[in-house]
């Protein structure tokens, strides 16, 4: 059992809300916009300022430097000023002696707003020309070449698809604690995946050098991308209060506040067209993606980019053109979520293949098999496929889990059952690993060996339940050649390892682990040289003691930058990823066609994990990601009113997967002899790729529903999530809303 797991089990792990509150600690609460779109006519804070226990009420006019927190596009003020762009947009920070007093004072704020009609639909935003950044197109064929390719097709199918968003629902809400230090410096205990981002933005807002701000992260109670960029404002609010009041300030959101004021997975709409030859080979594919970005950029441009890169999933498409629009709406800015835009792009081509299979009277997996990537194939953005395990994963899953037998059993069941129908689907995945911003593909590490033989490892990696701490301990122990019990992983701090990238993009172990390995290799080289000068072997303790006696440096800092990645965004071509992860899942589902309910009977997976650093952790990541993917596409219905209010704003109105939603049978097999030369110790990133196996659950349920309606049914039913309500409408003849 890992150290973190033992502490979690015993309830000893400390999160921000568990930290002892320092003497004089004050508490912040945010007054936020009650409307999705409007103009502030008047703001009266006088009653709030006079409320019991209130220490200060701050707005944009109190910001010492720049009222701007936008990371990619500078379009997101820390405090809203004259114009309001989404419900939950912060307007004022109330700081009081207790959280209860701060929230009570917040209720006394009086505001007069001239409301304006909000835009909540990305297609409507596109029609109005409301874009976050210029639209982008990735293509390996010119317009004329694509036209010619479609004209040569035996079958052309077109349609639409849509996917709603998804709430992160991390166990630990957004929280930060900021403390003033001597000399005008600050220390921030932040619940963030990106300590350096918090440091940078807080410095920008407060008018301080980054060196005057320390950001520390011990661990997060879950994140899933929701604390990559969107942990920053809450930490900055705490830091602002601490600077202005000269005392510690804590800002911790309650669950309803968190759900209303933080971004979620991006909803997408899409138009698509696919063309096949008589054998079922894809000759042409065209898609237009409409990303609902929300009111400001956040990370939407980068997420849009990954949707483009994954728009053809595991398939070779000789003529492809995919255009993506990042559409500005009056909803809370959407943000990073496990998969980072990849799942949305992949869902669209899987929808297209499903319809193509139905139109041609073939099984979807037959078309999938015909079109899988092979070694040396080019993705539409020009990157060559290397170490391609697409077909191997597909074939192993097909044989290991007896796809033919599963389909035969489903057909026999459906022929005998009127009320219950079963469906089966195959879901191959291909997911690129690296930040698509080249600059972010770097990491540092600092390793100390103490004179008693214990080892202290510091990196920029943030532990959020994914097991990166355990993997870093494994890497250090294997490289140094000492017992893993000697390795301690430091609290992540910007004062120890600077200029870090966020722990995201499934690259936490890849980047930080490689930096640790480099540092440990240098230390081992020093120790090996010493050992070679001795006639007798030495124990680890004696070796370290001797090294110190001989004045050998027992500390090492190291830096790693991912090689061989480059992408030209003007030409939309290059190699943005270090490598790809492959895999395939067989999913079976049963639908109660009277009630519209369903059960995911089984999901059986063959996954390409390279040489796993921690097989048990990686298995847990596969199973957890699968559950989250199933939730996104079947249960989690992120709903907004026409005036931009979040309707699914509590656990009473937002259904997340629970133990009853979990497939009865989950099997995970890792590809053997699949070592990855592009990452640390032959491993592969694990966090995000398995989420896409959840797409298979959608199509298994859909297949069962079509068996009830009859296979001649022409309704696309490509609207996710496929909730029981939406499914029931389809089953009994009404198009889903």
* Cα separations in angstroms, 328 against 34, 170, 297: 19, 26, 8
* Cα separations in angstroms, 590 against 265, 421, 596, 663, 723: 27, 6, 10, 11, 14
pLDDT classification of 712: cutoffs 50, 70, 90: low
Please report the domains of the chain, with CATH numbers, ordered by start residue: 20-116+174-252 (3.90.1170.50), 268-435+572-731 (3.30.365.10), 442-561 (3.30.365.10)
**Predicted pLDDT at 717:** 81
Q: Which of 304, 274, 306 is nearest to 289 (CA)?
A: 304
Q: What mean pLDDT do residues 282-297 have?
A: 98
Structure letter (DSSP) for residue 672: S
CB of 110 closer than 8 Å to CB of 352: no
Q: Which long-range contacts (CB under 8 A, 24 or more apart) does 658-663 make?
A: 661/600, 661/627, 661/630, 661/631, 661/634, 661/635, 662/600, 662/627, 663/587, 663/600, 663/601, 663/602, 663/603, 663/626, 663/630
| Cβ within 8 Å of residue 314, ≥6 positions away | 368, 372, 373, 390, 394, 428, 429, 430, 582
The residue among 179 and 6 whose pLDDT is bigger is 179
Express each pLDDT in 599-627 by its tens digit. 999 999 999 999 999 999 999 999 999 99
Report d(CA 167, CA 77) in Å as an integer.
23
**Predicted pLDDT at 660:** 86
**Predicted pLDDT at 713:** 59
**Predicted pLDDT at 397:** 98
Please state the φ and ψ torsions of residue 733, each to the nearest 5 degrees.
95, 5
pTM (two decimals): 0.96
**Predicted pLDDT at 6:** 84
The proportion of the chain whose per-residue pLDDT surpasses 70, expressed as a percent, equals 98
Q: What mean pLDDT do residues 323-327 have?
A: 98
Q: Is 76 assigned a catalytic role?
A: no
Catalytic residue among 172, 350, 688, 725: 688
Number of helices and strands (H, E) in the chain?
19, 27
Structure letter (DSSP) for residue 118: -
Express each pLDDT in 675-710 by its tens digit. 999 999 999 999 999 999 999 999 999 999 999 998
Q: 1 exposed, middle or buried (CB, 10 Å; 0-12, 13-18, 19+)?
A: exposed
Residue that has been written with the tokens 């006394």 in this structure: 108
Q: Is the dihedral of CA 15, 20, 21, 22 positive or negative?
A: negative
- Give the H/E segment covering residue 628: helix 615-634
Express each pLDDT in 70-116 by its tens digit. 999 999 999 999 999 999 999 999 999 999 999 999 999 999 999 99
pLDDT classification of 282: cutoffs 50, 70, 90: very high
**Predicted pLDDT at 4:** 75
> Is pLDDT of 144 > 80?
yes
Residue count (the chain):
737
Express each pLDDT in 227-278 by its tens digit. 999 999 999 999 999 999 999 999 999 999 999 999 999 999 999 999 999 9
Across 289-303, 438-452, 488-502, 656-670, least confident range: 656-670
Express each pLDDT in 482-539 by its tens digit. 999 999 999 999 999 999 999 999 999 999 999 999 999 999 999 999 999 988 889 9
CB of 263 closer than 8 Å to CB of 335: yes
Mean pLDDT score of the chain, rounded to an integer? 96
Helical spans, DSSP H, in 25-155: 46-49, 99-106, 122-128, 143-151
**Predicted pLDDT at 556:** 98
**Predicted pLDDT at 737:** 45
Q: What mean pLDDT do residues 23-31 have?
A: 98
| Cβ within 8 Å of residue 62, ≥6 positions away | 240, 244
**Predicted pLDDT at 711:** 63
Number of C-beta neighbours around residue 543 at 10 A:
20
C-alpha Rg value of the chain to the nearest Å: 27
* Cα separations in angstroms, 76 against 126, 129, 208, 322, 479: 20, 19, 20, 28, 44
Please state the φ and ψ torsions of residue 65, each to the nearest 5 degrees.
-130, -95
* Cα separations in angstroms, 166 against 246, 499, 629, 638: 39, 30, 10, 6
Express each pLDDT in 561-612 by its tens digit. 999 999 999 999 999 999 999 999 999 999 999 999 999 999 999 999 999 9
Look at residue 511 and give its three-state secondary structure. Answer: helix
Look at residue 597 and give its three-state secondary structure. Answer: strand
- Give the H/E segment covering residue 561: strand 555-561
Express each pLDDT in 423-477 by its tens digit. 999 999 999 999 999 999 999 999 999 999 999 999 999 999 999 999 999 999 9
Q: 159 exposed, middle or buried (CB, 10 Å; 0-12, 13-18, 19+)?
A: middle
CA angle 701, 356, 318 (to 5 degrees): 125
**Predicted pLDDT at 716:** 72
Report d(CA 715, CA 736) in Å as an integer.
10
Q: What mean pLDDT do residues 107-126 have?
A: 98
């Amino acid at each position: 059992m890992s150290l973190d797991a033992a502490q979690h089990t015993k309830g000893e792990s400390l999160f921000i809300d568990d930290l002892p509150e320092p003497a004089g600690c004050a508490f912040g609460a945010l007054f936020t916009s009650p409307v999705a779109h409007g103009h502030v006519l008047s703001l009266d804070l006088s009653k709030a300022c006079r409320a019991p226990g209130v220490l200060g009420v701050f707005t944009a006019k109190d910001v010492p430097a720049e009222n701007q927190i936008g990371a990619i596009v500078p379009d997101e003020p820390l405090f809203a000023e004259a114009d309001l762009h989404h419900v939950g947009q912060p307007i004022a920070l109330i700081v009081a002696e207790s959280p209860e007093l701060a929230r009570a004072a917040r209720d006394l704020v009086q505001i007069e707003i001239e409301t304006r009609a909000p835009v909540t639909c990305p297609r409507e935003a596109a029609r109005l020309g409301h874009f976050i950044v210029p639209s982008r197109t990735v293509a390996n064929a010119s317009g004329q070449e694509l036209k010619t390719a479609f004209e040569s097709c035996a079958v052309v199918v077109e349609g639409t698809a849509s996917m709603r968003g998804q709430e992160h629902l991390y166990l630990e809400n957004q929280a930060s604690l900021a403390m003033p230090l001597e000399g005008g410096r600050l220390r921030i205990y932040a619940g963030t995946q990106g300590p350096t981002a918090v440091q940078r933005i807080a410095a920008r807002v407060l008018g301080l050098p980054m060196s005057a701000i320390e950001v520390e992260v011990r661990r997060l109670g879950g994140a899933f991308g929701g604390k990559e960029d969107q942990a920053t404002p809450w930490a900055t609010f705490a830091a602002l209060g601490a600077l202005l009041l000269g005392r510690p300030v804590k800002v911790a959101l309650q669950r309803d506040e968190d759900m209303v004021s933080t971004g979620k997975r991006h909803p997408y709409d899409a138009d698509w067209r696919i063309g096949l030859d008589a054998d079922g080979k894809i000759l042409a594919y065209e898609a237009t993606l409409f990303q609902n970005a929300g009111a400001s950029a956040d990370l939407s441009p980068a997420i849009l980019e990954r949707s483009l890169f994954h728009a053809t999933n595991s398939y070779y498409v000789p003529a492809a053109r995919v255009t993506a629009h990042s559409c500005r709406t009056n909803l809370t800015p959407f943000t990073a979520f496990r998969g980072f835009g990849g799942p949305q792009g992949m869902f669209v081509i899987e929808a297209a293949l499903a319809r193509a299979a139905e139109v041609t009277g073939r099984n979807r997996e037959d078309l999938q098999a015909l079109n899988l990537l092979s070694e040396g194939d080019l993705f539409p953005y020009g990157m060559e496929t290397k170490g391609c395990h697409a077909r191997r994963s597909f074939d192993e899953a097909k044989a290991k889990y007896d796809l033919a037998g599963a389909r035969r059993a489903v057909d026999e069941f459906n022929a005998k059952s009127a009320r219950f129908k079963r469906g089966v689907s195959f879901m191959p995945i291909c997911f690129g690993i690296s930040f698509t911003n080249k600059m972010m593909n770097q990491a540092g590490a600092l390793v100390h060996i103490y004179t008693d033989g214990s080892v202290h490892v510091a990196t920029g990696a943030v532990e959020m339940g994914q097991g990166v701490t355990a993997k870093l301990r494994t890497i250090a122990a294997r490289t140094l050649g000492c017992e893993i019990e000697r390795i301690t992983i430091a609290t992540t701090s910007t004062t120890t390892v600077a200029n870090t990238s966020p722990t995201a993009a499934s690259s936490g172990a890849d980047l930080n682990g490689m930096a640790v390995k480099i540092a440990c290799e240098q230390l081992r080289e020093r120790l090996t040289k010493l050992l070679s000068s001795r006639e007798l072997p030495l124990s680890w303790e004696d070796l370290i003691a001797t090294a110190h006696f001989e004045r050998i440096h027992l500390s090492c800092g190291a830096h790693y930058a991912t090689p061989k990645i480059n992408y030209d965004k003007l030409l939309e071509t290059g190699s943005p990823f270090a490598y790809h992860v492959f895999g395939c899942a067989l999913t079976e589902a049963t639908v109660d066609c009277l009630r519209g309910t369903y059960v995911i009977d089984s999901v059986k997976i063959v996954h390409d994990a390279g040489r796993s650093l921690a097989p048990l952790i990686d298995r847990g990541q596969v199973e957890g990601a699968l559950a989250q993917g199933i939730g996104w596409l079947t249960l989690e219905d992120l709903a907004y009113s026409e005036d931009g209010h979040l309707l699914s704003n509590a656990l009473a109105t937002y259904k997340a997967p629970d133990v009853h939603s979990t497939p009865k049978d989950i099997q995970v097999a890792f590809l053997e002899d699949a070592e990855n030369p592009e990452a640390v110790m032959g491993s592969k990133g694990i966090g995000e790729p398995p989420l896409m196996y959840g797409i298979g659950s959608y199509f298994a349920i859909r297949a069962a529903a079509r068996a009830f309606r009859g296979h001649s049914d022409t309704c696309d039913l490509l609207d996710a999530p496929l909730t029981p309500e939406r499914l029931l409408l389809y089953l009994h003849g009404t198009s889903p809303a």
